[in-house]
Structure 1
Amino acid sequence: MKFPDYDPQYQIASSIISTLQNAGFKAYLAGGCVRDMVMGTQPSDYDITTSAASADIKSLFKNTVEVGAAFGVLLVIKNGYTFQVSSFRQNAVTPQEDAELRDFTINGMFYDTSTGELFDWVNAKADIEDKTIRAIGNPDARFSDDYLRLIRAVRIASHLRFTIEPGTRTALVRLAHRLLLTSTERIRDEFIRLCESPDAAYGFQLLYETSLLEVLLGSIVDIQEIENYLTVKERVETLLRLIRASQSQDYYLRIASFCFSFLRLNPAPAPLTPGDKDDIIAFLKKFKFTNRDRKSIVAIMENSHVFSRPGRLSRGEQVKLLQSTTISEELEFNRIVNEAFVKSTEGYNHYHSLFSSLSHAEIHPVPVLTGTDLLSLGLKPSKQFSLILSKAEIKQLNGDFSSKEDALQWVKEHYPL
Structure 2
Amino acid sequence: MNFKTQLAQFEVFDKVAHAAQKLGLKTYVVGGYVRDLVLGRPSKDIDFTCVGSGILLAQEVAKGFDQHVPLSIFKNFGTAMLKLDDWELEFVGARKESYRQESRKPIVEDGTLEEDLERRDFTINAMAISLNKEDYGELIDPFDGMGDIKRKIIRTPLEPNITFSDDPLRMLRAVRFAAQLNFDIDADTFFALSENAYRLKIISAERIIDEVNKIIATPKPSYGFKLLFASKLLHEFFPEMVELQGVDSVDDKSHKDNFYHTLQVLDNVCQASNNLWLRWAAIMHDIAKPATKRFNPKAGWTFHGHEDKGARMTPAIFRRLKLPMDDRMKYVQNLVRLHLRPIALVKDEVTDSALRRLLFDAGDEIDDLMTLCRADITSKNNKKVQRYLENFDKVEKKLKEVEEKDQVRNFQPPVSGEEIMETFGIPPSKIIGDIKEEIKEAILEGKISNNPQEARKLMFEIASQKGLNPVKSN
TM-score (norm 2): 0.72
One of 129, 134, 146 as aligned partner of 1:125: 146
After TM superposition, the structure 1 = structure 2 runs for residues 43-192 of structure 1, keeping only pairs within 5 Å, are: 43=43, 45-51=45-51, 53=53, 55-56=55-56, 59=59, 63-65=70-72, 70-89=76-95, 90-112=108-130, 115-192=136-213
2:278 to 253, 265, 283: 253
- Give, in whole Å, the separation in 2 of the partners of 1:85 and 1:142: 23
Give how far 1:415 is off: 2.3
* TM superposition shift of 1:252: 2.3
User: Could you report, residue by residue, the CA deviation over 1:244-295 in whole angstroms, capped at 9, with x for unpaired residues?
Assistant: 4331443323333333455531588864366544544333222200113332
Q: CA deviation at 1:241?
A: 2.5
Q: How far, CA to CA, are the matches of 1:12 and 1:394 in structure 2?
A: 65
What amino acid is the match of 2:432?
F
Structure-2 change in CA distance of 1:339 and 1:237 (3 Å): closer
Secondary structure, aligned partner of 2:83: strand
CA distance in 1, matches of 2:441, 2:21: 67
Distance in 1 of aligned mates of 2:242 and 2:220: 28
Is contact 1:235–1:261 with CA below 8 Å preserved after alignment? yes
Give yes or no for the alignment of 1:404 onto 2:452.
Answer: yes
The residue identity in structure 1 corresponding to 2:329 is R
- Whole-angstrom distance in 2 between the partners of 1:21 and 1:379: 85
My pick for the range that moved more, 309-318 or 32-41, is 309-318
Letter aligned with residue 307 of structure 1? P
Unaligned runs of 5+ in 2: 63-68, 96-107, 294-301, 469-474
- Counterpart CA distance in 2 for 1:20 and 1:347 is 66
Partner residue in 1 for 2:424: 378
- DSSP 3-state at the match of 1:43: coil
> Relative to 1, partners in 2 of residues 1:4 and 1:297: Cα closer, same or farther, differing over 3 Å?
farther
Q: Which moved more, 1:145-154 or 1:362-371?
A: 362-371
- State the Cα distance separating 1:355 from its structure 2 match: 5.9
Deviations 1:169-192 (A, max 9, x none): 121111111122211111101101
Distance 2:217 2:205 in 1: 18
Distance 2:367 2:51 in 1: 49
Distance 1:44 1:291 in 2: 31
Which amino acid in 1 is paired with 2:322?
K
Mapped partners of 1:366, 1:278: distance in 2: 25
> Which of 305, 309, 323 is 1:289 aligned to?
323
Residue 320 (structure 1) aligned with residue 343 (structure 2): no
Q: Distance in 1 between matches of 2:377 and 2:55?
A: 57
Which region of structure 1 is more displaced relative to structure 2, 132-141 or 250-259? 250-259
Decide whether aligned partners of structure 1 residues 235 and 69 sit closer, same or farther in structure 2, where only a CA change above 3 A counts: farther
**Aligned to 2:194, what secondary structure does the other structure show?**
helix
2:297 alignment partner in structure 1: none
Aligned length: 408
| Aligned amino acid, residue 309 of structure 1 | A
Q: CA separation in 2, counterparts of 1:161 and 1:356?
A: 40
Once the 2 structures are TM-superposed, how far is the Cα of residue 14 of structure 1 from its aligned partner? 6.6
2:360 paired with 1:353: no
State the match for 1:264 in structure 2. Answer: 289
C-alpha contact 1:13 1:83 (8 A) present in aligned 2: no
Any conservation in 1 of the 2:128–2:139 contact (CA below 8 Å)? Answer: yes
Deviation at 1:21, TM superposition (A): 5.7
CA distance in 1, matches of 2:321, 2:13: 33
Going from structure 1 to structure 2, the CA distance change for 1:97 and 1:365 (only over 3 Å counts) comes to same
Going from structure 1 to structure 2, the CA distance change for 1:208 and 1:318 (only over 3 Å counts) comes to closer
- Unaligned stretches of 5+ residues in structure 1: none
The answer to whether the Cα contact below 8 Å between 1:28 and 1:110 also exists between their aligned partners in 2 is yes
CA distance in 1: counterparts of 2:283 and 2:91, whole angstroms: 35
In structure 2, what residue type is equivalent to 1:251? Answer: L
Please, which of 218, 240, 245 is the counterpart of residue 197 of structure 1? Answer: 218
Q: Tell me, what secondary structure is at the counterpart of 1:338?
A: coil
Describe the SS at the equivalent of 1:46. strand
Distance 1:365 1:259 in 2: 27
Partner of 1:212: 233
Query: 2:369 corresponds to which residue?
Result: 330
SS of 1:41's equivalent? coil
Taking structure 1 as the reference length, what is the TM-score of the superposition? 0.81
**Paired amino acid for 1:121:** P
> Corresponding residue for 2:471?
none
1:309, 1:347 within 8 Å by CA — same for their partners in 2? Answer: no
Query: Highest CA radius of gyration, 1 or 2?
Result: 2
Q: After the TM superposition, which of the residue ranges 370-379 and 297-306 deviates more from structure 2?
A: 370-379
Q: State how far apart, in whole Å, the 2-side matches of 1:269 and 1:340 are.
A: 17
1:244–1:142 CA distance, 2 compared to 1 (3 A): same
Q: Please provide the CA RMSD for this pair.
A: 3.8
Residues 54 and 340 of structure 1, relative CA distance in 2, 3 Å threshold: farther
Closer/same/farther in 2, CA of residues 280 and 49 from structure 1, 3 Å limit: farther
Partners of 1:297 and 1:270 in 2: how far apart?
20
Spell out, residue by residue over 1:213-263, the C-alpha distance to the aligned partner (whole angstroms, 9 max, x if none). Answer: 222334x6895x9869699x9343223332343314433233333334555
The separation in 2 between residues aligned to 1:213 and 1:352, in whole angstroms, is: 36
Percent identity, aligned pairs only, is: 24
- Equivalences for 1:18-29 in 2 at 5 Å? 19=19, 22-29=22-29
CA contact (8 A) 1:368 1:396 kept: no
Q: 1:116 to 1:182 in 2, by over 3 A?
A: same
1:122 Cα deviation from its structure 2 partner: 1.9
Q: Work out whether residues 261 and 378 of structure 2, in 8 Å CA contact, stay in contact via their aligned partners in 1.
A: no
Query: How far apart are 1:4 and its partner, in Å?
Result: 8.2
Q: Is the 8 A contact 2:54 2:93 kept in 1?
A: yes
Instruction: Give distance in 1, aligned partners of 2:201 and 2:156.
Output: 20
Q: CA deviation at 1:318?
A: 3.4
Distance in 2, matches of 1:402 and 1:321, equals 16
* Alpha-carbon distance between aligned partners in 2 of 1:394 and 1:83, rounded to the nearest angstrom: 59
1:315-372 CA distance string (max 9 Å, x none): 5323313414x4333222222223459742467434543566657x944568633233
Choose 141-150 or 265-274, whichever is displaced more: 265-274
Kindly provide the amino acid, as one letter, of the partner of residue 202 in structure 1.
Y
Matches within 5 A, 1:221-240: 234-240=257-263
